Amino acid sequence: MQVPATFAYERADSVPHAIALLERYGPDARIVAGGHSLIPMMKLRLAQPEALIDINGLAGELGRVAIEREGEGEELAIGALVRHAELLDSTAATDLFPIFRDAERVIADPIVRNRGTVGGSLCQADPSEDLAAVFAALGATAVIQGPGGVRTVPIREFHRGPYETAVEPNELLIQLRVPVRPGTGSAYEKVERRVGDWPVAAAGAVLTVEDGVITSAGIGLTAVGAEGFHAPEAEELLTGRPPGAEAFAEAGRVAAEHCEPHADQRGPADYKRHLAAELTRRALTTAAGRI
Ligand SMILES: Cc1cc2nc3c(=O)[nH]c(=O)nc-3n(C[C@H](O)[C@H](O)[C@H](O)COP(=O)(O)OP(=O)(O)OC[C@H]3O[C@@H](n4cnc5c(N)ncnc54)[C@H](O)[C@@H]3O)c2cc1C
């Protein structure tokens, strides 16, 4: 089946308008951003929304990458409609957090990256999604807007399961916010079967070091069945220790122990577990070198 079922189509002209349209059409309406996940699913009849609410006209509200003051510090704000290619091109984002450059270079191909969005990727909640691991490693916060106003959800609580998120049917993911800390390095390591493919396994690392000691460690994992796309036991193990090869190898082993990879066409479970350990170790090593 390569033709979607019939659906109504609306173009939102503001975030409140998009939310009003979601309310009007009810739970069978869906937001469409880049359409790279949703449209193929509709063609295969795996998704049959009654109405599509197109948010592509909202780049003014949802398409910005900016460093903003937040209390005493700063946060990097990334709009939900920012395209993969725009994030890759944003020096504001990639200079602060090279993990974005590492990851975006290996997500799909230029055609998908030109249309696919940060918000669409996170809301699709594919268990192999690269950006889920990136934002989990960064300890980001998701900003969600609905009829009742704006609320925030830590990204590690955003994904409720495969293809399921904290965003309610009448809500919109509008932004991701990442805390900016001095003394931070970050990196992303992915193994894919061929260029542009989804990961067999991938790991992201974000390290903050003060006075020779790790004060904050973020480890994101994807495609290996890590709950919330992160590795809290390995993060805990690193905190308070000096960065080094031994600590990073141990963190990799602990991260892998807590994964539950499944065998599929991308590889057997034990291979994926091995990758989780090795890619975590490599990402931590590169992140430390970038501080
Ligand atoms: C050939 C191919 C290869 C790919 N390879 C990779 C890869 O290697 N790694 C990887 O991580 N991804 C990969 N992807 C996925 C890609 O990153 C898509 O861009 C992404 O899955 C969806 O983004 P989108 O903007 O197209 O979302 P859409 O398809 O428009 O939407 C996806 C879902 O999110 C919802 N949604 C979208 N935006 C919002 C919002 N702001 N608020 C609430 N709900 C929203 C929609 O209703 C829908 O349910 C690949 C895709 C393709 C087609």
pLDDT for 166 equals 97
Atom of ligand 1 nearest to the CA of 36: 26
Ligand 1 within 6 A of CB of 108 = yes
- Asked if residue 180 has pLDDT above 70, the reply is yes
CATH number of 184-289: 3.30.390.50
218 CA to centre of ligand 1 in angstroms: 24
206 lines ligand 1 (CB under 6 A): no
Residue 121 CB–ligand 1 contact under 6 Å? yes
- The rounded Å distance from CA 105 to ligand 1 centre is 16
Instruction: Tell me the mean pLDDT in the region 246-262.
Output: 97
**For all residues of the chain together, what is the average pLDDT?**
96
Q: Give nearest CA residue, ligand 1 atom 1.
A: 108
CA separation for the pair 178, 139 (Å, rounded): 7
Atom of ligand 1 nearest to the CA of 62: 41
Which residue has the least CA distance to atom 27 on ligand 1?
120
**Ligand 1 and 85: CB distance under 6 A:** no
Domain residue limits, the chain: 8-54, 59-180, 184-289
> Mean of the pLDDT values across residues 208-228?
97
Atom of ligand 1 nearest to the CA of 106: 8
Quick one: which atom of ligand 1 is closest to the CA of 80?
41
Whether the predicted pLDDT of 186 surpasses 70: yes
pLDDT band at 196 (very low <50, low <70, confident <90, very high): confident
User: Where does the pLDDT of residue 70 fall: very low under 50, low under 70, confident under 90, or very high at 90 and above?
Assistant: confident
Whether pLDDT at 227 is above 90: yes
- CATH topology match: 8-54 vs 184-289: no
pLDDT (mean) for 107-130: 97
240 CA → ligand 1 middle, Å:
37
How many Å from the N-terminal Cα to the C-terminal Cα in the chain? 50
Give the model's pLDDT for residue 53. 98
CATH T-level topology, domain 59-180:
3.30.465
Give the class (CATH, top level) of 8-54: alpha beta
| 128-150 pLDDT tens trace | 999 999 999 999 999 999 999 99
Query: Is residue 80 over pLDDT 90?
Result: yes
1 pLDDT higher than 70 = no
pLDDT reported for residue 2: 84
